């Protein structure tokens, strides 16, 4: 874990809310001059605290109206099956996230689809084609009230 001081936290918070801030704007928010500010941001990148910069897109504007959480059970509990599953599912563009979970299931996938028929097609022809899957349980999101992407710093 990186040692973060108050200035680092201010920079991280500002970048999470608007990664398009100029170095001068960032420096002003953290009460730094430009060069030390840039040096701190580069160090946070080198230390792996900042992993990248991304645009947040509206799924509906791209035709995605369905969000699904799918619980996956593998046919066997082995490193080989897990590696194969993770490799295969990473190639599926509709899968937004993949998490290893405890309990009755092995994985939790966050999946987007244009509509319910396209999700059904995805399950039957893409996800279901992964040989090491023993079971898929889907939960359709009726309404997402909010998503918090910025981490508390």
Give the 3-state DSSP-derived string for 76-109, with helices as H, strands as E and coil as C: CCCHHHHHHHHHHHHCCCCEEEEEECCCCCCEEE
From residue 123, give the alpha-carbon distance in Å to each of 48, 73, 86, 101.
Answer: 35, 14, 16, 20
For the stretch 71-81, pLDDT in tens is 999 999 999 99
Contact 11, 144 (CB under 8 A): no
Domains of the chain, residue spans: 6-47, 59-141
Q: Cα angle vertex 84, ends 147, 93, to 5°?
A: 40
For the stretch 97-108, pLDDT in tens is 999 999 999 999
pLDDT score of 147 = 87
pLDDT score of 150 = 83
Going by the DSSP 8-state scheme, the letter that residue 124 receives in this structure is: I
Q: What is the mean pLDDT of residues 109-131?
A: 97
End-to-end CA distance of the chain: 13
For the stretch 3-58, pLDDT in tens is 899 999 999 999 999 999 999 999 999 999 999 999 999 999 999 999 999 988 99
Query: In degrees rounded to 5, what are phi and psi of residue 4?
Result: -115, 130
Q: Is the pLDDT of residue 63 over 80?
A: yes
pLDDT score of 2 = 73
Q: What is the mean pLDDT of residues 110-127?
A: 98
Per the prediction, the chain carries an average pLDDT of 95
pLDDT bucket at 128, cuts 50 / 70 / 90: very high
Lowest mean pLDDT among 34-48, 69-83, 86-100, 137-151: 137-151
3-state secondary structure of 11: helix
Q: CB-based contacts of 31: which residues, under 8 Å, 6+ apart?
A: 7
The answer regarding whether domain 6-47 maps to CATH 1.10.630.10 reads: no
CATH class of 59-141: alpha beta
What is the pTM assigned to this prediction? 0.86
pLDDT bucket at 153, cuts 50 / 70 / 90: confident
Q: Whose structure tokens read 């040096």?
A: 39
């Amino acid at each position: 874990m990186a040692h973060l001081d108050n200035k680092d936290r201010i920079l991280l918070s500002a970048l999470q809310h608007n990664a398009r801030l100029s170095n001068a704007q960032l420096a002003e928010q953290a009460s730094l001059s430009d060069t030390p500010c840039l040096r701190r941001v580069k160090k946070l990148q080198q230390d792996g605290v900042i992993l990248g910069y991304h645009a947040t897109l509206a799924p509906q504007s791209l035709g995605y109206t369905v969000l699904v959480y799918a619980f996956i059970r593998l046919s066997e509990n082995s490193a080989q099956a897990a590696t194969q599953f993770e490799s295969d599912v990473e190639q599926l563009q509709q899968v937004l996230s993949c998490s290893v979970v405890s309990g009755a299931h092995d994985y939790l996938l966050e999946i987007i689809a244009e509509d319910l028929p396209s999700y059904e097609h995805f399950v039957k022809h893409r996800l279901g084609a992964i040989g090491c899957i023993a079971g898929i349980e889907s939960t359709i999101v009726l309404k997402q009230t909010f998503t918090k992407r910025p981490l508390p710093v």
